[in-house]
Amino acid sequence: MIGNLNHVAIAVPDLEAAAAQYRDTLGAKVNPPQAEPDHGVTVVFIELPNTKIELLHPLGNDSPIQGFLDKNPSGGIHHICYEVEDILAARDTLIASGARVLGTGEPKIGAHGKPVLFLHPKDFTGTLVELEQV
């Protein structure tokens, strides 16, 4: 069902400093910040030869990332994202197997302009999983 690793998301307390570290210290290609109000985050994508890193920073007072940073002030890995061919079929298969889809269970449009869903971390060894339709 899952395909390629699309990205690893890292919550960061200082988006500009984190982007500069990837660009200046690690020599990575860093894209400009992108506000995602529907998800309560500002993101910066770091492009690697085989995947991406997504830096997440809170956008607005109700950002789910703020809660994560309150518990992890230095930041840290927030979620991993896998690609799927058919997000609705993947959702239905996962629900049938007992996995919990967060939110309403209906896909939202993610930062890449494609449908995404999140799966409960308690069902995946403590890891928040995002699925993105390719």
DSSP 8-class letter at 23: I
Counts of helices then strands in the chain (DSSP H, E): 3, 9
CA distance 34 to 50: 21
132 catalytic? Reply is no
Alpha carbon dihedral 19, 20, 26, 27, in 10-degree steps, equals 100
Q: What is the DSSP letter of 21?
A: I
Residue from 54, 83, 130, 132 carrying the catalytic annotation: 130
- Eight-state DSSP code of residue 101: B
CB 39 within 8 A of CB 116: no
Residue positions annotated with a catalytic role: 130
